[in-house]
């Protein structure tokens, strides 16, 4: 997906099936679903720190959880998983397996949820990557749009698996699973890791420095689980050349592109049509500075028609480029062949260049071609040029006459 982090999403009501000759299929009407969410809480030893309003992080987190549980709608589908809650020894191999689901996903049971939370004590290691993997399994089949809310006060101490890689794996599976992260009094390393996790799945990151902030943030994230995206992009796999590229109709599509890769798609644009296309790539991993994304339209034999490009440097969530091309610009071409769309990038990464590829969202629109108006003719420039010439002549004559009059008056005096 590019999920929603890809932010940048066009709300188009037609989704096309990416097979040759396919016509757009109308997207299903979005219906309100009960929130389906699993709270994943860090119960590692660092939660003993008493730096939030003079109380331990664990004490504050428990109270915040209880307030959230009390405020949940009756229809909420809730699960709770913990990490670092049971093993307090020094054996890292054993401690890094320490994650349990203490409340199964189902209609919220406030008493059971509060009782499960009340028994928690800060104990062990911080296996965030493993906990995310297991939380995804907990939510398997639980609903169309599912959300994991990860609350932690520190970074993973059990890599591998790296939690950022796990988040990318979950996103690459193409399921509507979003991971939101919430840092409890986080340091900079923790913040960077949590931002990476949320970006990979289209989620959000927030930090909390007080009990009030923590409670508000969790409530917001749980409420958000009830709002699935209005359009689910159709999955498509771009080809390595135009001859084998999938034929796409108007709609929104999702794909994945490796760093430095070129992806090819085909679109039928007829005389009188205007193609409007954009490509957005979610930057879900660390990238070297100075990068760009390119989308271009070309003939099937490789002749470029038009291109759109965007570039950036430093941190960004998404980078996008778009183009427009009218079939009436070359009627003979539009009447006899398809147009090839090529999406490519100039990314580079020292640590995360491999699979899965970067999330790509491709938006394609076909509308009536916009034509230059026939009147008053300013579009061609000739009338404007004539007006400027006449105005220049008149101004020159007036300036000359006024100059001669002023000189004559000066000589008389």
pLDDT digits (tens, 9 = 90+) for 75-118: 888 899 999 999 989 999 999 999 999 999 998 898 999 999 99
Distance (Å, rounded) from C-alpha 282 to C-alpha 346? 14
Mean pLDDT of 370-376: 49
Helix axes 110-118, 57-71, angle to 10 degrees: 180
Phi, psi of 321 (to 5 degrees): -150, 150
pLDDT digits (tens, 9 = 90+) for 274-303: 888 999 888 878 888 888 899 999 988 888
**Checking DSSP bridges between strand 358-368 and strand 251-257, what pairing results, if any?**
antiparallel
What structural domains and CATH numbers belong to the chain?
A: 31-224 (3.40.50.410), 234-368 (2.60.120.380)
Q: Is 327 exposed, middle or buried (0-12, 13-18, 19+ CB in 10 A)?
A: buried
Instruction: Name beta bridge partners: 234.
Output: 253
In 111-153, DSSP assigns E strands to 146-152
Banded pLDDT at 375 (limits 50, 70, 90): very low
3-state secondary structure of 248: strand
Higher pLDDT, 389 or 132: 132
Q: Please provide the average confidence, as pLDDT, over all residues in the chain.
A: 80
Q: Do the Cβ atoms of 132 and 96 come closer than 8 Å?
A: no
Q: Is the pLDDT of residue 239 over 50?
A: yes
Nearest to 135 by CA among 201, 208, 219: 201
Check residue 174 and give its pLDDT.
61
Q: Do the Cβ atoms of 234 and 15 come closer than 8 Å?
A: yes
Check residue 8 and give its pLDDT.
29
Distance (Å, rounded) from C-alpha 362 to C-alpha 24? 15
pLDDT digits (tens, 9 = 90+) for 10-35: 332 222 333 333 443 333 444 456 77
pLDDT digits (tens, 9 = 90+) for 318-369: 888 889 888 666 666 655 568 999 999 988 887 777 778 888 999 898 877 6
Distance (Å, rounded) from C-alpha 403 to C-alpha 246? 72
Q: Is the pLDDT of residue 379 over 80?
A: no
Higher pLDDT, 273 or 137: 137
Distance (Å, rounded) from C-alpha 118 to C-alpha 409? 102
């Amino acid at each position: 997906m590019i999920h929603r982090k890809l932010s940048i999403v066009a709300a188009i009501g037609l989704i096309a099936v990416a097979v040759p000759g396919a016509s757009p299929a109308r997207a299903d009407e979005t219906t309100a679903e009960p929130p389906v969410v699993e709270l994943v809480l860090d119960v590692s030893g660092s939660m003993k720190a008493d730096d939030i309003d003079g109380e331990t992080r664990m004490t504050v987190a428990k109270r915040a959880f209880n307030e959230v549980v009390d405020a949940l709608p009756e229809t909420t589908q809730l699960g709770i998983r913990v990490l670092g809650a049971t093993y307090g020894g020094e054996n890292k191999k054993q401690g890094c397996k320490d994650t349990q689901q203490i409340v199964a996903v189902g209609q919220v049971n406030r008493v059971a949820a509060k009782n499960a939370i009340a028994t928690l004590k800060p104990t062990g290691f911080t296996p965030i990557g493993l906990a995310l993997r297991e939380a995804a399994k907990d939510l398997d089949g639980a609903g169309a749009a599912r959300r994991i809310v990860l609350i932690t006060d520190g970074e993973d101490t059990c890599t591998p698996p790296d939690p950022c890689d796990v988040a990318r794996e979950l996103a690459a599976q193409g399921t509507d699973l979003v991971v939101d992260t919430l840092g409890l009094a986080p340091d900079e390393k923790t913040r960077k890791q949590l931002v990476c996790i949320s970006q990979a799945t289209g989620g959000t990151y927030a930090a909390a420095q007080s009990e009030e902030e923590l409670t508000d943030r969790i409530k917001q994230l749980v409420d958000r689980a009830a709002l699935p995206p209005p359009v689910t992009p159709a999955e498509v796999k771009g080809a390595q050349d135009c001859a084998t590229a999938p034929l796409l109709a108007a709609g929104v599509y999702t794909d994945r592109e490796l760093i430095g890769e070129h992806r090819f798609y085909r679109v039928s644009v007829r005389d009188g049509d205007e193609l409007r296309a954009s490509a957005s790539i979610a930057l879900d991993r660390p990238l070297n500075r100075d990068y760009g994304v390119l989308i271009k339209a070309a003939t099937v034999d490789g002749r470029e028609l038009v291109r759109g490009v965007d570039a950036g440097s430093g941190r960004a969530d998404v980078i996008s480029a778009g183009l427009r091309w009218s079939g009436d610009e070359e009627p003979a071409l539009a009447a006899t062949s398809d147009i090839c769309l090529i999406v490519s990038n100039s990314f580079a990464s020292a640590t995360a260049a491999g699979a899965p590829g970067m999330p790509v969202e491709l938006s394609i629109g076909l509308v009536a071609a916009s034509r230059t108006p026939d009147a008053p003719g300013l579009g061609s420039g000739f009338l404007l040029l004539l007006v400027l010439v006449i105005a220049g002549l008149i101004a020159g004559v007036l300036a000359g006459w006024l100059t001669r009059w002023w000189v004559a008056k000066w000589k008389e005096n």
